[in-house]
Amino acid sequence: MAFSNEKLSDIVVVSAASTTDIVTVADNKKVFVKSIIAHNTSGVTTATSQVYVVPNGGSVADSTRLFDVTVEPSETVLIEPSFPIVLDATGDKISVGAKTATINTLVTGDKEA
């Protein structure tokens, strides 16, 4: 089984008061999320950002939220779990929410070739 080490998404803009799907598994090809980078684009408003690990057929909810982080104005936060988050079924996904300010998000890791 071969893997490619790369960014799993382009920079995705998540507008305030919204949630966006960032990475979705296709064709049962395993995805290993190693880091999530969140940048608060506001120069004045503290942002909160949530990361959700949503199984195929599931939805963004408290039961699928894995991280809830505060990002100060114009700052960047690196979320780097001790072990990769494994997505392994078609339709499994990582979603990111932003509450009070826009968050730019980038996800890195490996995916099955």
Query: What integer is the mean pLDDT of 40-57?
Result: 97
Domains and CATH numbers, the chain: 11-106 (2.60.120)
Averaged pLDDT for residues 31-45: 96
> What is the helix (H) or strand (E) element at residue 40, kind and residue range?
strand 31-40
Average pLDDT rounded to a whole number, residues 61-80: 98
For the cut 90, the answer to whether the pLDDT of residue 66 exceeds it is: yes
SS3 assignment, position 48 = strand
Q: What is the pLDDT of residue 4?
A: 72
- Predicted local distance difference test score (pLDDT) of residue 1: 64
> Given this model, what pLDDT does residue 2 score?
74
